[in-house]
Every structure is written in structure tokens, then in C-alpha cells.
Amino acid sequence: MSAPAPAAYLHSSFYKFVRLPDPDHVVEVLRELVAPLTGSILVAEEGISGALAAEAEALATFEHAVQHDPRLNGAFAGMVFKHSACATRPFWKVRVHRKKEIVALGVEGVTGVADTEPRQRTDRTHVSPQQWRELIQRDDVVVIDNRNHFEYRLGRFKNAIDPKVDNFRDFPSYLQAMAPQWKAEGKRVAMYCTGGIRCEKTGAWMQNDLGLDVFQLDGGIVSYFQALPDADRDWEGECFVFDNRVAIDTRLQETGTTAEQVYNNSPDEAWRLARARRLDSAEPKSS
């Protein structure tokens, strides 16, 4: 079992799609800045995505530095950080990885970096938690869970559709199959994911290439929980998080759910369970 987190220990998740001319340089700078923390950061030409944990002061120091360090040329200025409390240490080590994509969709040429062309989606596609609550009640809206099947199984927005995918790379095929039906029915698509990054990656592609009228929950499930004290009006179950805490409730509090309770016996979920056990067993031993 994972060890308790120190008092005032926080989890911080963040991402930003931005063109990085020299991702390897960014990796070098970030490895210096994250040294006192634990967690993981992904860096690619399309931007940054990360989840870190530490005491509040250390996190604040990093979050200021990543936005203002002159070596990063303002690439991450204004980046949003989502915080939640930790009863368990979410991570044991810190790593900064260089990747081809910060979230792998598997569709060639698709990136979350905003274009300057007219075909790009507009800010109206990003709806606030308050707007989302109203949007998902409409009869002309289909609500799509842009996460894996095991995440949906643990918790979801009421009336949301489960695409039943085991990997984010399978999501485009589901959308391509369903888009003609939704358009014929005059449906608009409202989609959500944990922190917003998966929706950010797919939104413009769905709108520009599939011809769908798309809306996404700005900041994802975590922002919804943060913004609305009564989020449980619209949410059923818990929200899976990709760290040792396993799951949080609508008040951003860690639940007692275990990895064994999250996954079933399918081959895809078996390796996820094995990885979760491996990460949990990686806890440093006291001498």
C-alpha cells in the first residue's frame, strides 16, 4: 500500500499546446526545474503535458518558473494548473520525457496547436462548467466520454455515451463511424475528458475533417469538480486519475478505490493493472 502524503501535499496537472521549435532544449530546462518534485512531464513539438506532486510551496515555485524562466521564451505563460489534495503520495520519482506527441491520437497531421487559418475551431467550442451543465441537458446534443472504457466504467456524466475504446488511438475510428449518423440526426457533440487535453487534441479535427458541431468541457472533469460544489448532480461514480491515488470524488478528495477494483480481466486492462502494482511497489524503502 502506498505511503501517506505529507501535510499540505498537492497534485498539480497541466498542459499547453504550443509550437516548440527546440523541444530537446525545453526538456533540459524542465529537468532542472522539476528536480525537487515528483511526477512526470511529456514534451513534444506540439507542447507540454504534466502531472506533478509536492508540498504547496515547492509546486508554486515550479509553476512560476515554468511560466517565467527566460530560457523557455514565454512558451508556457498563462498555463493553467489544476490542484487537488493528496492523502497518498501520487508519485515516487520525477521524469521529463521527450515524445512525438504529448497525447497520441494516431491521426497523421493532427495536433492540438491552434492554427491561424479560418478553418480552426473558435473559443465558442470551449464551454465553462456552468454552460456545460445546461448544454448536456439539450435533446439535440450527444454527450461523448473521450476516455477509455475502464475510466467510463468507474464514473461518468449522466447520459454520456461510452465509445468502449481501450486506447485513445481507437477513438478516431469510433468518431468516423458515428459522425454520419449524428449529422443526419442534427446532433451537436459535447465531449469531455479528465483534464481537457484529449478533447483539445481531437476537437478541431472533428469539426474540420468530420464536419461535426463540437463543444468541449473547458478544463475537463477536474475543472468541473472545482467549479461546482454540487457536481454530483450531474456526475455518477468517481473519476480515475493516472497515479497512485487511483480515483477522486466530486470534491477532489481521494477515494478508497484500489487498482484491482478499477480494472477487469481483459488483456488491455491486465497490463494496466500490472503497471499500477509495479508503480505502487516502487515506494522507496526506509533504511
Interval 13-62: pLDDT, tens = 999 999 999 999 999 999 999 999 999 999 999 999 999 999 999 999 99
Q: What is the pLDDT of residue 160?
A: 98
| Separation between Cα atoms, residue 287 and residue 285, nearest integer Å | 6
pLDDT digit string, tens, across residues 210-240: 999 999 999 999 999 999 999 999 999 999 9
Q: Which residues are catalytic?
A: 193
106: pLDDT strictly greater than 70: yes
pTM of the shown model: 0.87
Q: 47 in the Ramachandran plot: left (φ > 0), alpha (ψ -120 to 50) or beta?
A: left
Main-chain phi, psi angles of 285, to 5 degrees: -90, 140
Residue ranges of domains in the chain:
9-98, 123-275
Q: What is the pLDDT of residue 254?
A: 93
The topology under which CATH files domain 123-275 is Oxidized Rhodanese; domain 1 (3.40.250)
Crossing angle of helices 56-68/23-33, nearest 10°?
150
Closest CA to 204 of 135, 140, 141, 126: 126
Q: What is the pLDDT of residue 117?
A: 40
In this chain, the answer to whether the domains covering 9-98 and 123-275 adopt an identical fold is: no
- Dmax of the chain from CA atoms? 65
pLDDT digit string, tens, across residues 131-152: 999 999 999 999 999 999 999 9
Residue 18 CB-density burial (10 A; 0-12 exposed, 13-18 middle, 19+ buried): middle
β-sheet bridge partners, residue 55: 9
pLDDT digit string, tens, across residues 52-102: 999 999 999 999 999 999 999 999 999 999 999 898 899 999 999 999 999
| Separation between Cα atoms, residue 187 and residue 170, nearest integer Å | 22
- In order of 132, 186, 230, 237, 238, the CA distances from 234 in angstroms are 10, 24, 8, 10, 12
| Separation between Cα atoms, residue 202 and residue 81, nearest integer Å | 21
Q: Domain 9-98: state its class.
A: alpha beta
β-sheet bridge partners, residue 214: 189
